[in-house]
Structure 1
């Protein structure tokens, strides 16, 4: 019987320099998309997929991230006294049970592979998920839940994949497809940030992974790769050809790159329009804005 995926690693050690000066004092993962921080979307997605243990790989200056998931007795008492039960419930949904979260420090910025490797002792010999909070995915069924269900059929290693235009392929890890089975593809190679025109397909790896513990052993042996960093892609690539194998999963949903300002703004608009309490006002504003722009042309 296949082991269930109950542990997830959240690599959150990055400095968020693209969002300076905001990230001078606020961790990027705490920046709010509508009214929830980015990290809350990632946690909610993990919970929906059955994750029970949450491992954060952090760095200096991320104290606000740790505080966010802690209980806030003073605030809870104030809300209780004022009868604001709806806000109290929202607040409680952000609390994490004692022992559910672990924090590991990544002391040197040596890449995503190194960040995952930092959590190896907490993973042990179990399959695990990796979620990159920068990639926010709007989907009816959360992306990681889709992947966990597919993983139960095939096992091995699985990466979320989406089609990208050739002009954008050099910004991603790209899959070399062995067999296309629709929502799933088997993989015969992975290329990290291929030079323009050399990409083996248009299927890019997105920030959701379900990985065998053998990937951690592979990371033990890897020296720095593309960009002088230890690439997770390289460790997954070594699983190709083993009896575990590597699969790409075409998830159903829309991905927003909230590591970029443009992607963050697009996500804000999309998530705002999906909210019943905000939709009408926001839609009216955008309609008026477009009409004004058109009239000015």
Structure 2
């Protein structure tokens, strides 16, 4: 019987060197997009998809992430005393329930594959979601919710990767999937290839991996034996390619917008997009933005 997707892994051990000095003392995942940290946006996506347990793979100087997902009694009492009901209710809605978060350490920068492997004992013998916090997905429906729906619709289960269309002349900058004919609702494809940054003109499609995965627990055994790849790191893609020889992989196309908050331009674009989509701020922000853009 196919097991449900209950747990999600969030690798948050990166150093954030592209955002220095802002990330000298603050984790890059805690930089805010409008009024919420990047990591909160991604956790919101997971919880909206029905995830019950969030597993954070952290590193040094990441304790503030654990504090963010914990109660702050002094702050709550202060808000209550000052009648800040709206803010207090928001904090309580965002707070995971008791036992719904776990934190484990990745002691060295050994790559995404190693970070996933560090979560093995907490995830256990069940399929899980993997969400890369740098990649924000803004759409009509949460990306992971669409993936889980597609996963549940396939009796064989297997593994799923979210993909999105990129310009054909930019495929060499991404992890690219080769796919077969669409199935189901036309947004799900069997994966035939996975290639990390193919040479120009050689990509099998323009469908790039977007940083959302549903993986079977057998990936952990492969990661334990995986040799180091590019950059001397344990690469998740290498282990997935090996797993694809014994288990099916499917791609789910995400039709919303994706912002790479690991880059400064992507982070700035995410702030603009999320502000414009905010029902309270959107109209005023658009006015101010247009005024700024037309200013001589």
Deviations 1:88-114 (A, max 9, x none): 011112322232111111111111111
User: TM-score, normalised to structure 1's length?
Assistant: 0.95
| Equivalent in the alignment of 1:173 | 175
Contact kept, 8 Å, 1:192 with 1:226, in 2: the verdict is no
Which residue pairs with 2:41 in the alignment? Answer: 41
CA distance in 2, matches of 1:232, 1:251: 21
Aligned match of 2:248 in 233, 245, 258? 245
Given candidates 193, 204, 220, the residue that maps to 1:216 is 220
Which moved further from structure 2: 111-120 or 180-189? 180-189
Distance 1:201 1:39 in 2: 30
| 2:127 aligned partner | 127
Partner Cα distance (2:68, 2:88) in 1: 15
State the Cα deviation string for residues 105-154 of structure 1 (Å, max 9, x = none): 11111111110011111111100000011111112211100100000022
> How far 1:196 moved relative to its partner?
2.3
Number of aligned residue pairs = 292
Report the counterpart of residue 187 of structure 1 in structure 2.
Answer: 191
Q: CA deviation at 1:276?
A: 2.3
Report the Cα offset of residue 289 of structure 1: 2.4
> Corresponding residue for 1:23?
23
What SS class does the counterpart of residue 23 from structure 1 fall into?
coil
| Separation of aligned partners in 1, 2:48 and 2:282 | 25
The alignment's C-alpha RMSD in Å is 1.3
Equivalent position of 2:283 in the other structure: 280
User: Is the contact made by 2:164 and 2:255 (CA closer than 8 Å) also made in structure 1?
Assistant: no
Aligned-residue offset at 1:240: 2.1
Q: TM-score, normalised on structure 2?
A: 0.95
CA distance in 2, matches of 1:4, 1:259: 30
- The residue that corresponds to 1:225 in the other structure is 229
Greater shift in the superposed pair: 6-15 or 183-192: 183-192
Asked if 1:204 is matched to 2:211, the reply is no
Contact 1:179 1:187 in 2 (8 A): no
CA shift, 1:252, in A, is: 3.0
| Structure 2: gaps of 5 or more residues | none
Q: Does structure 1 retain, via aligned residues, the 8 Å contact 2:162–2:253?
A: yes
- The alpha-carbon deviation at position 54 of structure 1 amounts to 0.8
2-side partners of 1:179 and 1:226: how far apart?
31
Q: For the Cα contact (< 8 Å) 1:188–1:241, is it kept in 2?
A: no
**Alpha-carbon distance in structure 2 between the residues aligned to 1:231 and 1:201:** 21
Distance 1:148 1:280 in 2: 33
Q: Which residue of 1 aligns with 2:85?
A: 85
Distance 1:287 1:229 in 2: 44
What's the offset of the Cα at 1:292? 2.6
Separation of aligned partners in 2, 1:261 and 1:235: 30
- Corresponding residue SS for 1:277: coil
Separation of aligned partners in 2, 1:140 and 1:94: 20
Q: Distance in 1 between matches of 2:60 and 2:150?
A: 36
Q: Distance in 1 between matches of 2:181 and 2:229?
A: 27
Report how far residue 271 of structure 1 moved. Answer: 0.8
CA contact (8 A) 2:188 2:252 kept: yes
